[in-house]
Amino acid sequence: MPTIAENLNYWKRYDWKDRGREWGGGYGTIENGWEHAILPRIGAFLPADHILELAPGYGAWTDFLRTRCKRMTLVDLAPNCIEHCRQRFGKRGMKYHVNDGRSLAMLNDDSIDFVFSVHSLVHADHDVMHGYIEQLATKMKPGAFGFIHHSNLGEFADEFETWPEKDLHWRGRDMTGEKFRTDCRESGLVCVYQEIIPWGSDRFIDAYSLFAKPRQGEKLEERIDRNAEYWPHVWRRIEVSERYTRPGSL
């Protein structure tokens, strides 16, 4: 896994000609990704008063989230990403911060209602994820939720060097779903649902983790699934929706 400095250099030099919409390629379009993969997993927690998006890049998912909150804060390592989002989304109800790839010190404690990050923190190793979870435990309001897409590649640490495919898209090599759940417990958060999913093959190298900051006295349970049908299910939803699109004139 590249260092934070290497990540910064890469994303500063990355060709953002599609403004991050390329991350919707596996779904056909970014709209399909939102409607049929992301929204079904977070819709129950929206709208939210104050959303924090970690590592938004050029704002592909931000575009959908900002209409579902009163306030939104974007935090990214790359200054060019934050500047593009500032120009794209403006000032009203929006705040923008460049960080060092680790710190959330710019956020007020007990200020966040919903945390979101998809397709970005899969590049983070465990030390970075551990630090973010520790800080989110103080930045989230009691009763708040978060949804983070992260690497589970560390589950296969004893074997992935022997895999024929060597390009693992910079996934965090020591990050796992189990580590995420443990870090939540130790920080006072609860990973209420974790969906471990295959990505790029039939190997379960990614995870979607839904976590919460319990209210005082609230008891929340952990649930974990390994969903081999993640992609087939998303593609079936997309196929059905395309059958029901409004017909054009002959």
* Domain membership flag for residue 249: no
pLDDT on residue 173: 92
Radius of gyration in angstroms for the set of CA atoms belonging to the chain, rounded to a whole number: 18
Does 248 fall in a domain? Answer: no
Range of the structural domain that residue 52 is part of: 4-243
Whole-prediction pTM: 0.94
Both tokens of 5, joined, read 């400095």
What is the b/e burial string over 2-25, where b = at least 16 CB atoms within 10 angstroms of the residue's CB? eebeebbeebeeeebeeebbebbe
Q: What is the per-residue pLDDT across 82-132, written as a single tens digit (0 to 9) for each?
A: 999 999 999 999 999 999 999 999 999 999 999 999 999 999 999 999 999
Quick: pLDDT tens for 175-206. 999 999 999 999 999 999 999 999 988 999 99
**What residues contact residue 192 under an 8 Å CB cut-off, 6+ apart?**
145, 210, 211, 212, 220, 221, 222, 223
Whether 169 shows a pLDDT value over 90: the answer reads: no
Indicate which CATH number applies to the domain containing 42: 3.40.50.150
Asked whether residue 175 is domain-assigned, the answer is yes
Residue 39 domain flag: yes
The confidence band for 240, taking pLDDT boundaries of 50, 70 and 90, is very high
Q: What is the mean pLDDT of residues 150-154?
A: 96
Q: What is the pLDDT of residue 1?
A: 59
Domain count, the chain: 1
- Flag whether 51 is in a domain: yes
CA distance 154 to 198: 14
Residue 16 lies in a domain: yes
Q: What is the mean pLDDT of residues 28-48?
A: 96
* Residue 158 placed within a domain: yes
- pLDDT value at 167 more than 70: no
